[in-house]
A = this chain, B = another copy of it.
């Protein structure tokens, strides 16, 4: 059972809450587990059992596709307050695929088991509707990622990624490896390293062991096409 600050968070994050009956609210509150994951942990994969509904309390999750030869395509990332229904795909018949989900930072979630979530969605059309709406929002994220990946030039994708990271962290100094950057933009590390070296020679970024420092945001914006 959640304590009252955590229950308040759960109510805020799970927007159909006001539409639940008292019995349904009790079922959810009693069955929402708090789970912590260390940075780098894989929460959900194509081969794992259906995890259930995730409501993200703190940290960050990355959702991606994985090919048989180990290539990854990042679909979207989630932060505190966001919900993930793809981890409950086994109980949503309209979702016929499985994604991989990793903790990008130390992460804490509320986890509602697939069976409890399924019974709420079956009994309460507001829950069902919310789960499809949440999936549809992710659909929009994925189409955006697809357009980035398929249609933008590599330098543009990298510039957009660096600017996004700067906006997310509020820092010019980004603590990311070339490997991570490559993963986010769906490319190979060698390609990213080559492109970063070019950005560095042009005075757009400075490279160091600790990461990448943005020196010329205006030129980065121009490359990003913003």
Interface residues contributed by chain A, number (CB under 8 Å) = 33
Asked whether B71 lies within 8 Å of A143 as measured between CB atoms, the reply is: no
Within 8 A of B (CB), among A39-70: 65, 67-69
When chains A and B are docked, how far (Å) is the Cα of A34 from the Cα of B74?
41
Number of copies of this chain that the complex holds: 2
Asked whether B135 lies within 8 Å of A96 as measured between CB atoms, the reply is: no
Asked whether A65 lies within 8 Å of B97 as measured between CB atoms, the reply is: no
Instruction: Write out the residue numbers on chain B whose beta carbons fall within 8 Å of the beta carbon of A136.
Output: 92, 94-95, 132, 135-136, 139
Any B CB within 8 A of the CB of A142 = yes
When chains A and B are docked, how far (Å) is the Cα of A67 from the Cα of B142?
16
Any B CB within 8 A of the CB of A22 = no
Q: Min CB distance, A74 to chain B, in Å?
A: 12
Specify which of A125, A132, A186 lies most central, judged by the most chain B CB atoms within 10 Å of its CB: A132
Binding-face segment, A109-117, A145-153, A165-173: A145-153
Instruction: Write out the residue numbers on chain B whose beta carbons fall within 8 Å of the beta carbon of A126.
Output: 125
Instruction: Write out the residue numbers on chain B whose beta carbons fall within 8 Å of the beta carbon of A99.
Output: 143
Q: A132-B132, A132-B135, A142-B142 are in contact. Are A150 and B73 (CB under 8 A)?
A: yes
Contact with B along A102-137 (1 / 0, CB 8 A): 000000000000000000000001101100110111
Any B CB within 8 A of the CB of A180 = no
**A-B pairs, 7 with minimum CB distance:** A132-B132, A67-B151, A139-B139, A129-B129, A94-B136, A96-B140, A135-B136
Of the A-B pairs whose beta carbons lie under 8 Å apart in the complex, a sample of 29, sorted by A's number, is A65-B147, A67-B147, A68-B151, A69-B151, A71-B151, A73-B146, A94-B136, A94-B139, A94-B140, A95-B140, A96-B144, A97-B140, A97-B143, A97-B144, A97-B147, A99-B143, A125-B126, A125-B129, A128-B129, A129-B132, A132-B133, A132-B136, A135-B135, A136-B136, A139-B139, A139-B142, A142-B143, A142-B146, A149-B150
